[in-house]
Amino acid sequence: MPHTRYQTIEVAVPLPVDRTFHYSVPEPLRSSVRTGVRVLVPFGRRKVTGYVLGRAVDPSGELKDIIEVLDAEPLFTNRETAFYRWITAYYLYPLGEVIKTALPSGINIESRRKNVTNDDGSIFTHEHLTTGKGIRREKFYHAASGAADASGIRGAGARILLFLLENGEASRANIYEQFLNPSAPLKRLSELGLISVEEREVYRDPFREEDVIAETYLCLNDHQAAAFCRIAESVSAAEFSPFLLHGVTGSGKTEVYLHAIAHTLEQGKRALVLTPEIALTPQLVRRFRGRFSQGIAVLHSGLSVGERYDEWRRIRRGEVAIVIGARSAIFAPLENLGIIVVDEEHEASYKQSEGVTYNARDLALVRGKLEKTTVVLGSATPLITTFHAAKEGRIHYLPLPERVQGRPMPESRILDIRKLKGVTFSPELIAAIAENLEKGGQTLLFLNRRGFATFLLCKDCGHIYRCPNCSVTLTHHRAKQRHFCHYCDYSLPAPSVCPECNGTNIGLFGRGTERLEDEVRELFPDARVARMDSDTTSSRGGHARILKRLEDGSIDILIGTQMIAKGHDYPGVTLVGIVSADATLNIPDFRSAERTFQLVSQVMGRAGRGDSPGKVIIQGISYDHYALLRAAAHDYQGFYDEEIAFREDAGYPPFSHLAMVVISGTAEKAVEKGAQDAARSLREERESLKIRAEILGPAPAPLAKVRGRFRWQILLKARNRTELKRLLHTFQRNWKPPRILRTIIDVDPVDTL
Ligand code: ADP
Ligand code: ZN
């Protein structure tokens, strides 16, 4: 297809700059330059890779020539460019960096050095990026026409030929699997002209080993059907339309998504499903693959760079109808999108914490608007802000107030554990576990801290073990025999000698999942116990292996961190014990009550999803906190009413928009001074622009030091988003901090730590 030939182009470079640049295209390159390809351009004294955004509008002055075109096919479309530009403006992040984040790193998999001759005859060497090298190619063998009549071939050669004749073709890998030492016979067959070889591009398939079991659609109940109808209508109408699917745990939200997606595909459109990484279980993927026989791509962090790149290429080429993925899948290059589903929309993990601090849940709405699609946000515990938007009618509300098939919500109790004085289990919880074991039910025990002991103290001199790089205490891990920092890679061997007094009498206080496992094994020696946290799931597929054992019924008691809370449907679980609900409540952040309510509700939601009813026991020091009381009572509305009153009083979202400016560096004094300067210029700019915004700080961040960097922060609150944005843009333009400081502007922070 012919395309416009550009003489001058607009290019975004992945560097900390707040604008794009114009270049001219030398005649020989004009036929290969188009929107979405990468080009090599001179930039100052360097050569950098840039992204072509399109024709330069009003180019002025002397333009430099681009040096080379790096891609044969565009990597992104005009529509995606609009999305990237939106992100740049909203999150105040360079466009080139945004594009780099959006594209799979596999496009840069291999680089080689290359000499380039300039027009003036000079030569220089640069890293040449290729798209081709990350692509896997495989050899395929075919029987030549007439090979069937060949005579005089015996032994291995004859068997291989027969195999090829029967199968039409076979990959090299396949032949090596089937035959011992096939290389000599293959060579002979090929010399005789009886077979031909072809090299083709292949995809790495992350699911090769998995069998797909076809699933049938379940008949929707009334609430599900009502929700489905509204969504289906909207998909058919092809306009932007946002929904909140608010369904209690076990109400069958996934079934609604599956029906909605089937309807979308029937309309000839495609679907994007976002889910938190942790909920992206093989179980969920299996359910999708069981319904939709082909055209599914899955994107998550467990894939290799090459696998990701292959999935991305399949999507880009239109070979995929459904993409399921974690946060970065919001950039999946699906065209003709009909629906975006954001499962567990309340999850903080939709926020990217490094680089472009985007929130995939929010971007789903933005992309939905740009591409005129239906967006379904699903949760049992929606964000306070989402529920508020639904109440105001900005999001359509679809409730699923009951569990499927009339199953009851689990019965729950909160226990005051102040009187336990450091003992892990209340007698009630022990009795409940024993009873559940007796009945053959499975138990989940939740504790949101990993490791053995979370607080280490020298009993001789009182020295507390802290990380030298971060403002946190070390955690003892017994299996690894070390004390670890959970924020950086610092660790000390254990047992250790007190650095203050050389004492060897270390007190291990606080309790993590590792110790909990010990205690459970001691209390219930005959039970089959397993633990799921990031220590036991670090190997590839580790997470899936544990869940598989739970599914098989070969685990009686599963202990875990928030990993066990998410999106799993295991009907054998009839008891959930929340060993301590306090850890998240005590975090100094305006969302800690909301987080606790969500987490406790989600963990509780794992109980009683099968035929037997479930039971939940919650232990807490803050046993009378509204987040715990409302969670235990399955009372979202009640929690919302209390929480929204607090938000209104304190002026937090949805009653304001937030942004946080974080200044960090290794020199403590310089960071403090930098933060003060930043706050001063923000205040001056606020006055001169007459912007109504509250500026709080500067103050040391609650996590005052991480990885050797001191952190100070300034919190901005404003009722009007446009005004806040104007202030931030002005600040960013004028702010010239010393080079040793790093400044991060976090728009819509999900926490203020
Ligand atoms: P949620 O995501 O809301 O927690 P799921 O979608 O995982 O709930 O559904 C919970 C269980 O109920 C699943 O095992 C699912 O197969 C089953 N289920 C969903 N809808 C129906 C239905 N209409 N009839 C019978 N079972 C259903
Ligand atoms: Zn540390």
> What is the whole-number distance in angstroms between the Cα of residue 616 and the centre of ligand 1?
20
- Top pLDDT among 247 and 539 is at 247
> What is the whole-number distance in angstroms between the Cα of residue 224 and the centre of ligand 1?
10
The verdict on 273 and 252 lying in the same domain is yes
Q: How many CA atoms lie within 13 A of 540 on its CB side?
A: 6
The verdict on 613 and 672 lying in the same domain is no
| pLDDT per residue as tens digits for the range 499-510 | 889 888 889 888
* Nearest ligand 1 atom to alpha carbon 248: 3
Question: Domain for residue 585, yes or no?
Answer: yes
Residue 664 has a CB neighbour count (10 Å cut-off) of 21
Q: Do 59 and 138 form a contact (C-beta atoms < 8 A)?
A: no
* Nearest ligand 1 atom to alpha carbon 247: 3
The verdict on 325 and 401 lying in the same domain is yes
Pairing of strands 374-379, 557-560: unpaired
Instruction: Give the per-residue pLDDT at 286.
Output: 84
> What is the whole-number distance in angstroms between the Cα of residue 707 and the centre of ligand 2?
6
Separation of alpha carbons 580 and 445, rounded Å: 10
Instruction: Give the per-residue pLDDT at 210.
Output: 59
Over residues 117-139, mean pLDDT: 51
- Top pLDDT among 150 and 723 is at 723
Separation of alpha carbons 614 and 599, rounded Å: 17
**For ligand 1, atom 23: residue with the closest CA:** 220
**For ligand 1, atom 2: residue with the closest CA:** 253
570 falls in which pLDDT band (50, 70, 90)?
Answer: confident
Q: Measure the CA dihedral 407/408/410/413, to 10°.
A: -170
Q: Nearest to residue 67, comparing CAs of 146, 147, 9, 135?
A: 9
Over residues 322-332, mean pLDDT: 95
pTM of the complete model:
0.87
95 falls in which pLDDT band (50, 70, 90)?
Answer: very high
**What contacts 356, CB < 8 A, 6 or more positions away?**
87, 91, 93, 97, 98, 101
Q: Do 473 and 512 form a contact (C-beta atoms < 8 A)?
A: no
- Ligand (nearest to CA of 465): 2
Question: Domain for residue 125, yes or no?
Answer: no
Q: Which of 45-59, 198-212, 580-594, 632-646 shows the lowest per-residue confidence on average (mean pLDDT)? A: 198-212
Separation of alpha carbons 221 and 223, rounded Å: 6
Over residues 546-566, mean pLDDT: 89
Separation of alpha carbons 374 and 353, rounded Å: 27
* Nearest ligand 1 atom to alpha carbon 605: 4
Pairing of strands 123-129, 111-117: antiparallel
Percent of the chain with pLDDT strictly greater than 90: 62
Q: State yes or no: pLDDT of 410 exceeds 80.
A: yes
Number of structural domains, the chain?
5
Instruction: Give the per-residue pLDDT at 745.
Output: 95
Residue ranges of E strands in 16-122: 21-24, 38-43, 46-55, 64-65, 68-69, 111-117
Output the domain CATH number for residue 686. Answer: 3.30.70.600
| pLDDT per residue as tens digits for the range 622-669 | 888 999 999 999 999 999 999 999 999 999 999 999 999 999 999 999
Residue finishing a domain among 648, 678, 707: 648
Q: Could you give the residue ranges of the DSSP H alpha helices within 579-667?
A: 582-585, 592-604, 626-632, 636-650
Instruction: Give the per-residue pLDDT at 132.
Output: 42
* Nearest ligand 1 atom to alpha carbon 220: 23
Output the domain CATH number for residue 325. Answer: 3.40.50.300
* Nearest ligand 1 atom to alpha carbon 251: 3
Pairing of strands 411-416, 123-129: unpaired
The verdict on 641 and 668 lying in the same domain is no
The verdict on 621 and 695 lying in the same domain is no
Instruction: Give the per-residue pLDDT at 127.
Output: 43
**SS3 letters across 269-299:** CEEEEECCHHHCCHHHHHHHHHHCCCCEEEE
> What is the whole-number distance in angstroms between the Cα of residue 609 and the centre of ligand 2?
40
211 falls in which pLDDT band (50, 70, 90)?
Answer: low
Q: State yes or no: pLDDT of 89 exceeds 90.
A: yes
**For ligand 1, atom 26: residue with the closest CA:** 404
> What is the whole-number distance in angstroms between the Cα of residue 253 and the centre of ligand 1?
7
Instruction: Give the per-residue pLDDT at 122.
Output: 47
Q: State yes or no: pLDDT of 748 exceeds 90.
A: yes
Question: Domain for residue 455, yes or no?
Answer: no
Q: What is the mean pLDDT of the chain?
A: 89
The verdict on 593 and 696 lying in the same domain is no
| pLDDT per residue as tens digits for the range 682-696 | 999 999 999 999 999
The verdict on 239 and 388 lying in the same domain is yes
The verdict on 633 and 664 lying in the same domain is no
Measured from CB, residues less than 6 Å from any atom of ligand 1 are 218-221, 224, 247, 249-255, 404-405, 569
- Ligand (nearest to CA of 288): 1
421 falls in which pLDDT band (50, 70, 90)?
Answer: confident
- Ligand (nearest to CA of 219): 1
| pLDDT per residue as tens digits for the range 254-308 | 999 999 999 999 999 999 999 998 777 777 888 888 898 778 999 887 788 888 8
Question: Domain for residue 709, yes or no?
Answer: yes
- Ligand (nearest to CA of 400): 1
Question: Domain for residue 456, yes or no?
Answer: no
* Nearest ligand 1 atom to alpha carbon 569: 7
**For ligand 1, atom 19: residue with the closest CA:** 252
Over residues 300-317, mean pLDDT: 86
**For ligand 1, atom 4: residue with the closest CA:** 250
**Residue 27 DSSP symbol:** G
Output the domain CATH number for residue 151. Answer: 1.10.10
Separation of alpha carbons 305 and 301, rounded Å: 9
The verdict on 271 and 384 lying in the same domain is yes
| pLDDT per residue as tens digits for the range 24-50 | 999 999 999 999 999 999 998 889 999
The verdict on 424 and 564 lying in the same domain is yes
| Helix, strand, coil shares, percent, the chain, to 5 | 35, 25, 40
Q: Do 220 and 256 form a contact (C-beta atoms < 8 A)?
A: yes
Q: Which residues of 495-522 are buried (b: 16+ CB within 10 A; e: fewer)?
A: ebebeeeeeeebebebbbbbbbbbbbee
Q: State yes or no: pLDDT of 230 exceeds 90.
A: yes
Residue finishing a domain among 344, 375, 406: 406
| CB < 8 Å & 24+ apart, contacts of 405-410 | 405/221, 407/250, 407/608, 407/609, 407/613, 408/608, 408/613, 409/248, 409/249, 409/608, 409/634, 410/576, 410/604, 410/607, 410/608, 410/613, 410/614, 410/615, 410/616
Range of the domain at 672: 657-747
Over residues 439-463, mean pLDDT: 92
Percent of the chain with pLDDT strictly greater than 70: 94
Separation of alpha carbons 242 and 255, rounded Å: 19
Question: Domain for residue 128, yes or no?
Answer: no
The verdict on 264 and 376 lying in the same domain is yes
Question: Domain for residue 124, yes or no?
Answer: no
197 falls in which pLDDT band (50, 70, 90)?
Answer: confident
Q: State yes or no: pLDDT of 5 exceeds 90.
A: no
- Top pLDDT among 594 and 199 is at 594
Output the domain CATH number for residue 47. Answer: 3.40.1440.60
| pLDDT per residue as tens digits for the range 356-383 | 999 999 999 999 999 999 999 999 999 9
For the record, the structure tokens of 241 come out as 């339309």
Over residues 453-475, mean pLDDT: 91
Q: Which of 81-95, 164-178, 372-386, 429-443 shows the lowest per-residue confidence on average (mean pLDDT)? A: 164-178
Residue finishing a domain among 151, 172, 201: 201
Side chain identity, residue 637: Q
The verdict on 550 and 590 lying in the same domain is yes
Q: State yes or no: pLDDT of 1 exceeds 70.
A: no
Phi, psi (rounded to 5 degrees) for 452: -95, -60
- Ligand (nearest to CA of 222): 1
Instruction: Give the per-residue pLDDT at 212.
Output: 67
Question: Domain for residue 349, yes or no?
Answer: yes
**For ligand 1, atom 5: residue with the closest CA:** 252
